[in-house]
Amino acid sequence: MIAKESTLILERFDILESACNCIFTDDETLDLLESTKKQPIDIDFRIKTDNNGIFIIFTDININRGNEPAPGYSISVSGAGMFRLPQDVPESETQGYVNSGVNICITNLRSYINTITSFYPIGKFSFHSIDMPALFKSKQELIDEK
C-alpha cells in the first residue's frame, strides 16, 4: 500500500529542554528500568497559531520528577513542533490535523527519550502508548477549569 502525503506538514521539531538522571538505590534486587516503567507519564502541550496556516505545538513530558523521585530514571523533556496547513483546509478538519500534530510531537519526544537513555547504565527506556482521546479530554478539562 502506498502512503499518501498528509496535508499536515511538519516543518521542524526541536528539543527545547532535556534532563535525564539515574536514581540509584542500595536495593540490588530492584530492576530500575521496570521501576521507571511503573511511573506515571505526565504530558502537557500548548498550541500557538499565527492564523496563516502555521502552528507550533509545545510539548512537555515528565517521568518520575518531583521532590523525591523513585529509583530509576527521572526524565524531563520539552520540544516544539512547527507545522503548516494550507489556507484552504476547512475549519472543520483543522482540529484533526492539530491532534495529529500533538501525537507527532509526543512520538518524537518518546523517540528522543529512547535514544538518550540508550547511553545510560539503566538501559533504553520507552514509555507506553498514550490514550490520545483521554489526553485531549484531560487537557480540555484543565482549560475549562480556568
* Residue 71 is assigned to a structural domain of this protein: yes
Is residue 105 over pLDDT 90?
yes
Q: What's at 89, amino acid-wise?
A: V
Domain housing 126: 9-145
Report the domain count for the chain.
1
**Residues 111-122, mean pLDDT to the nearest whole number:** 98
> Which residues face 49 on adjacent strands?
55
* Average pLDDT for 6-26: 97
CATH number at residue 111: 3.10.420.10
Model confidence at 19: pLDDT above 80: yes
Reported as a pLDDT band with limits 50, 70 and 90, residue 128 is very high
Q: Is residue 4 part of a domain?
A: no
d(CA 136, CA 80): 18
In this structure, is residue 1 part of a structural domain? no
Q: How many helices (H) and strands (E) does the chain have?
A: 3, 4
Confidence of residue 53 (pLDDT cuts 50, 70, 90): confident
- Of the candidates 113, 114, 132, 112, the one whose C-alpha atom is nearest the C-alpha of residue 13 is 112
